[in-house]
Structure 1
Amino acid sequence: MTATIPRLPDGPAPAQGGDEPAGIAFFDVDGTLLRLTSLVSFYEYYVRGFAPVERARSLDALADLLRADLPREEANAAYYRLIAGEPVAEMAAAGRRWFAQVLVQGFVDAAVHAQLDVHRAAGRTVVLVSGSFPACLEPVAAHLGADRVLCSRPEIAHGRYTGWLGTPMIGDAKAAAVAAVLDELPPGTPSWAYGDHASDLPMLEQVRTPVVVGDDATLTRLARERGWEVLVGDGPLAAPAEPVRTGAGAR
């Protein structure tokens, strides 16, 4: 299933009043706001605290998943099977430490972050839309001052992840989530969306002002054909340096 994380307490409230709504801006996260793949980067960080044999087994399982080259929706669901049995609270705490490291290492895209700040300064609602999950996204949203997060939410039972995921927040699911939010707003509300991958196209097509981030061949071609804006961003995705062992998830 998918879910919306409520607006964070330190996020800006949407602007009120005026003849025209201030607007709303949707941002993909991996490859758009962050120059890395959050699920992979976080998992590699998290398992550093495992015992050596289990750490090696976990990293091998991740490597097998990445080598399988599955469609994004299938890969997303398979990822959450890797975290079956992990404590939700422990992963959330590790997520905060992981993102602190991401910030230090400079993996927030400055150009896209600047655009997000422009929207916030104008009083627009800022929404993150991602196939990632709350352990990764809550610290990102808090740091950026996002108002809402639309994301994949893997099933939880007795304080642990079960490994089951319904519909990943990818592709058409992103578009449906964005459309549902737009339906809550007055007709004609200005809207923007930022995405870096062809799978973001359905989301981009929901808004009045789509913005392509980076150089994805499909998106840049469509941007030229349709007159969409293209934001170069800071550069290609990169993997963080070897994380220090913190004891996150230690067995």
Structure 2
Amino acid sequence: MAFSLRSRSAMVVMSRLPEKRSTAPVSPRSSIAKSAGAPIYRPSCAINGAITSTLAHNWSQRILPSCRPYAASTGLFPAALALMLAGVGERLAFYDMDRTITVHPTYARFLLWMALRHAPWRLVLLPLSLLAAIGYVLRLVSRDQLKQINQRLLLGELRVASAAESMAAHAEHVFATNIRPGALERIAADRAEGYRIVIATASYRLYVEAIARRLGIDDVIATDLVSSHGTVQPKIAGHNCYGIHKAEMIAAWMAEHGLDPAQCAIRCYSDHVSDIPMLELAHEAFVTNAHMPMRVVARERGWPEIDWPGALAPQHGVAQPGATG
């Protein structure tokens, strides 16, 4: 799915809008996920880079919803002001998670963590998991199938309520042992510039949201699982959030939140060539902790390369919530 990211410019016309009432519906607020209890994002944006993120938050949350339809319908505001209100964009920073924010991949470690705590007997099935991995290398098994096979072997069906404590402990463990301090610092810096931080990852939302909350991040785009009556099945719902599907899911997320790409400033961070479609969406693409194929592409396209040491994260987070509302 492709869309233009070219910025728009507005002509200042000191005239009044015609006396015509807009029929365009006002988009309601929505949570970041369809699951119950998902946190509500409180937006912060910058107006032409000249207003601080705090003031922009007040404009976007308190002033714009009331002023935009009023200006468009009554003609009491100059057209230039109406155009400015309509053209307010948002700053977005999309971060891959595994090996970008984290030092090591998280998927297999999560399955082992849960198996050890809920069904240790499943560890005897690890040789079957190895066979599935060989099948993937031989292209007999797809990436999606491999993930589902491993989940069925090591996790099976999972009652989310009974596993909540283990998943929270897993998030604490990941934060304490598997987060790059440089990533935390960059997240904090982006947030200070007024960027809304979004994790976009192929890992399962099932456990990523807890890690995101530990990092002070509300917004997550991830691979979803089929669930019924509080039980998660070893089956991917929709697409694995990987490759071109990740870019498509980002575009769908933006549409769901009423964000026009042409009016947003977008940064993307990733370590892997599979995320080239995501990086191509950005005004600013950053290649982080990358393997050599990704570095080759970065040098061809002029994307900056960043290397964050793989040291353990501090026990108390750098990336604190609140600067973006």
1:150-161 equivalent positions in 2, closer than 5 A: 150-161=221-232
Q: 2:299 aligns with which of 216, 220, 224?
A: 224
**One-letter amino acid of the structure 2 residue matched with residue 5 of structure 1:** A
CA distance in 2, matches of 1:104, 1:4: 25
1:49 deviates by 2.3
**3-state DSSP of counterpart to 1:32:** coil
1:117 deviates by 1.0
Q: Quick one: structure 1 residues 116 and 56, their matched pair in 2 at CA, closer, same or farther if it must change by over 3 Å?
A: same
Q: 1:209 aligns with which of 276, 281, 284?
A: 284
Structure 2 match to 1:125: 196
CA distance in 1, matches of 2:234, 2:127: 18
1:71 deviates by 5.0
**3-state DSSP of counterpart to 1:102:** helix
1:155 deviates by 0.3
Any conservation in 2 of the 1:194–1:212 contact (CA below 8 Å)?
yes
Q: 1:13 aligns with which of 38, 42, 55?
A: 42
Any conservation in 2 of the 1:44–1:59 contact (CA below 8 Å)?
no
CA distance in 1, matches of 2:282, 2:219: 17
Q: Identity over aligned residues, as a percent?
A: 24
Instruction: List gaps (5 residues or longer) in structure 2.
Output: 1-30, 50-88, 313-325
Q: 1:86 aligns with which of 158, 165, 183?
A: 158
Q: Does 1:23 align with 2:83?
A: no
CA distance in 1, matches of 2:187, 2:200: 13
1:161-240 equivalent positions in 2, closer than 5 A: 161-165=232-236, 166-183=238-255, 184-186=258-260, 187-235=262-310
1:59 deviates by 3.3
Q: 2:116 aligns with which of 48, 69, 79?
A: 48
**One-letter amino acid of the structure 2 residue matched with residue 162 of structure 1:** Q
Q: Quick one: structure 1 residues 31 and 89, their matched pair in 2 at CA, closer, same or farther if it must change by over 3 Å?
A: same
**One-letter amino acid of the structure 1 residue matched with residue 42 of structure 2:** A
How high is the TM-score relative to the length of structure 2?
Answer: 0.64
- Larger mean CA deviation between 17-26 and 191-200 belongs to 17-26
Any conservation in 2 of the 1:211–1:228 contact (CA below 8 Å)?
yes
Structure showing greater radius of gyration is: 2
How high is the TM-score relative to the length of structure 1?
Answer: 0.81
Any conservation in 1 of the 2:270–2:290 contact (CA below 8 Å)?
no
Greater RCO (CA < 8 Å, at least 6 residues apart): 1
CA distance in 1, matches of 2:168, 2:205: 10
1:92 deviates by 3.4
Q: Quick one: structure 1 residues 119 and 13, their matched pair in 2 at CA, closer, same or farther if it must change by over 3 Å?
A: farther
1:202 deviates by 1.1
CA distance in 2, matches of 1:196, 1:73: 20
CA distance in 2, matches of 1:95, 1:197: 26
Any conservation in 2 of the 1:86–1:160 contact (CA below 8 Å)?
yes
**One-letter amino acid of the structure 1 residue matched with residue 127 of structure 2:** D
Structure 2 match to 1:64: 131
1:150 deviates by 0.6
1:208 deviates by 1.0
**3-state DSSP of counterpart to 2:212:** helix
Q: 1:33 aligns with which of 80, 101, 108?
A: 101
CA distance in 2, matches of 1:12, 1:167: 24
Deviations 1:36-93 (A, max 9, x none): 22111111111112455x2322433433334443554443343443433221223333
